[in-house]
Amino acid sequence: MDIKLQGKVADILQEQSGQGKNGTWRKRDFILEMPGKYPKKVCITQWGENIDTQAVEKGATVTVSVDIQSREYKGNWYTDVKAWKVEHGTGEQNASTPPPPSAEGFTIESESFDNMDDDLPF
């Protein structure tokens, strides 16, 4: 499933790193504020080299392609919103099919969960 979120980078959180069963990992979260009558904020995670190659800056307007995945760990459920592509600006928009008012800035482009990472870093 190709999900694209558009908005302004409201904050960038501190990078985290550690050792997992597959080696060293790095992640950094940023907060994306999506516009609309009732603006929504979403915490999005960048992993590994994407932190450097697709850097975001506070205040920048971006379009982020994400995978959303939930998994269970010791009886609790965790949801990840992982960025796999960051485009600066709003990207291409299809004016003929705007999103519904309750989901402004949120679009689903296709059906594919092929590249999801099942490795928990803890």
Would 55 be classed as within a structural domain?
Answer: yes
Alpha carbon distance 74, 107 (integer Å): 32
Q: What is the pTM of this model?
A: 0.69
Pairwise CA distance, residues 86 & 65, whole Å: 6
Total structural domains within the chain: 1
pLDDT in tens, 49-103: 999 999 999 999 999 999 999 999 999 999 999 999 999 986 554 433 344 444 5
Confirm whether 54 is domain-assigned: yes
CATH (domain of 102): 2.40.50.140
pLDDT band for position 2 (cuts 50, 70, 90)? confident
Secondary structure (H, E, C), 66-104: EEEEEEEECCEEEEEEEEEEEEECCCCCCCCCCCCHHHC
Residue 121 in any domain: the answer is: no
Q: Say what percent of the chain tops pLDDT 90.
A: 67
